[in-house]
């Protein structure tokens, strides 16, 4: 949490307000669940007294675990408060820099990021090639080992912060209710689909809630994550691995990253061939073999059905995985014509895996309803 430095506050006020105000006293008023409040007593040019309030946020639970969460609260306050009748005036908001100085956000309309260009090809290209040649070559084997080793390496970095229990509960809760995760994804489905109906969706969500209650206290599983380890965010420039779009969780369960990647090996096989088979079966098995060789996690399969269920919901999304998407990736017209039929198999996978006590690799075709 930010430790207030009076000199930095005075410098910020001088830059923000010029000589309009002279600070007389800065003091801490108190703190609550979410943050700490300070008063800044000043006088204007007419020697009239003015009190400002500076609020900072704590980073322990209540959805404020990461700096980006706290930034979101600040930005919402800055941009939304003026729209509400009778709301106290927000004069400014800002960021606290590494040297504890204060930097103004100004009067933002929207936000952006700038990043380096990602060179190379995303991993969809590899999956397209594997589908077409129906076998693995040396490059495919080497790259799946690179991906498994990379995942295992970052997952070895455990979270040892003071509020691990709250943070893990937040992760599992968000997987059910967050607007970018289960509820947000299914709320963006059209009302009528040939491969899934409303009753199926409701049953899936109910089972997800049961799984939330089942695994919410496994905070010992917290470790560093990518958070969206998905073929679109994985690039190879030659044999150099590059990743992008780390935009969800800093910490979480390793099963999240692993399922985000591995579900696409199952889905590609089903979309291309109608079932789970080689070469994607071999690729899937090699990924887990290499992963566990580099990081021991004998309890992962006890929790991964929960995470697989969400990732599989993404795979049946009619916008994300559409006929146009299949054409772009070179699927045959026969496969495109069978898309809805094959998505129904992924729905079976979701429903069946949520009924399991744990994931069993040799039962994937059974989960798909094919055995």
What's the pLDDT at 33?
A: 67
Closest CA to 299 of 244, 236, 255: 255
- Residues 163, 99 within the same domain: no
So what's the pLDDT on residue 61?
72
In a domain, 1, yes or no: no
Three-state SS letters, 221-290: HEEECCCCCCHHHEEEECCEEEECCCCCCCEEEHHHHHHHHHHHHHHHHHHHHCCCCCCHHHHHHHHHHH
Side-chain half-sphere CA neighbours of 125 within 13 A? 11
Give pLDDT, residue 253: 97
Q: Do both 301 and 158 map to the same domain?
A: yes
pLDDT number for residue 29: 87
Per-residue pLDDT of the chain (371 residues; tens, 9 = 90+): 557 788 999 998 888 888 888 899 999 988 876 788 889 999 988 888 999 988 888 777 767 788 888 888 889 888 888 887 878 888 899 988 888 899 998 888 887 777 788 889 999 999 999 999 999 999 999 999 999 999 999 999 999 888 899 999 999 999 999 988 999 999 999 989 999 999 999 999 999 999 999 999 999 999 999 999 999 999 999 989 999 988 778 899 999 999 999 999 999 999 999 999 999 999 999 999 999 999 999 999 999 999 999 999 999 999 999 999 999 999 999 999 999 999 999 999 999 999 999 999 999 999 999 98
Whether residue 292 is found in the same domain as residue 357: yes
C-alpha–C-alpha distance, residues 85 and 358, integer Å: 52
| Total domains, the chain | 2
What pLDDT does 268 receive?
98
Q: What is the pLDDT of residue 68?
A: 87
For the domain that residue 288 is a member of, what is the CATH number?
A: 3.90.1200.10
Same domain, 15 and 85: yes
Residues 17 and 157 in one domain: no
Is 310 within 8 Å of 258 (Cβ atoms)? no
267 in any annotated domain: yes
302 and 198 both lie in a single domain: yes
Measured distance CA(136)–CA(358) in Å, rounded = 29
In terms of domains, do 227 and 90 share one? no
Domain boundary among 55, 70, 104: 104
- 204 and 320, same domain (yes or no): yes
Chain centroid to CA 61: how far?
17
Q: Which of 56, 76, 104 is the last residue of a domain?
A: 104
> Quick check: 222 and 158 in contact, CB under 8 A?
yes
Assess whether 46 and 160 both reside in one domain. Answer: no
């Amino acid at each position: 949490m930010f430790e207030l430095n009076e000199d930095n506050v005075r410098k910020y006020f001088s830059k923000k307000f010029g000589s309009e105000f002279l600070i007389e006293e800065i003091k801490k008023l108190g703190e609550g669940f979410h943050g700490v409040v300070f008063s800044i007593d000043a006088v204007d040019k007419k020697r009239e007294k003015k009190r400002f309030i500076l609020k900072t946020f704590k980073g322990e639970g209540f959805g404020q675990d990461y700096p980006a969460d706290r930034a979101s609260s600040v930005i919402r306050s800055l941009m939304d408060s003026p729209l509400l009748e009778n709301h106290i005036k927000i004069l400014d908001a800002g960021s606290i820099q590494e040297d504890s100085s204060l930097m103004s956000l100004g009067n933002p309309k929207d936000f952006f990021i700038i990043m380096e260009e990602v060179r190379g090809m995303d991993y969809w290209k590899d999956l397209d090639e594997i589908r077409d040649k129906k076998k693995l070559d040396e490059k495919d084997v080497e790259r799946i080992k690179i991906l498994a080793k990379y995942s295992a390496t970052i997952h070895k970095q455990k979270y040892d912060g003071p509020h691990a229990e709250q943070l893990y509960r937040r992760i599992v809760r968000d997987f059910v209710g967050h607007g970018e995760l289960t509820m947000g994804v299914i709320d963006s489905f059209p009302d009528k689909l040939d491969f899934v109906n409303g009753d199926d969706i409701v049953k899936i969500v109910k089972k997800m809630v049961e799984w939330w209650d089942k695994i919410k206290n496994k905070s010992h599983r917290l470790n560093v994550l990518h958070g969206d380890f998905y073929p679109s965010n994985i690039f190879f420039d030659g044999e150099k691995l590059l990743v992008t779009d780390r935009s969800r969780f800093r910490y979480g369960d390793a099963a999240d990253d692993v399922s985000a990647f591995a579900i696409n090996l199952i889905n590609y096989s089903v979309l291309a061939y109608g079932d789970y088979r080689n070469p994607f079966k071999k690729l899937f098995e090699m990924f887990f073999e290499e992963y566990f060789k580099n990081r021991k996690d004998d309890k992962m399969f006890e929790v991964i059905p929960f995470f697989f269920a969400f990732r599989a919901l993404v795979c049946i999304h009619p916008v994300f995985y559409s006929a146009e998407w299949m054409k772009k990736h070179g699927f045959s017209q026969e496969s495109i014509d069978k898309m809805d039929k094959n998505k129904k198999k992924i729905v079976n996978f979701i429903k069946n895996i949520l009924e399991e006590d744990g994931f069993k690799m040799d039962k994937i075709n059974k989960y798909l309803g094919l055995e």
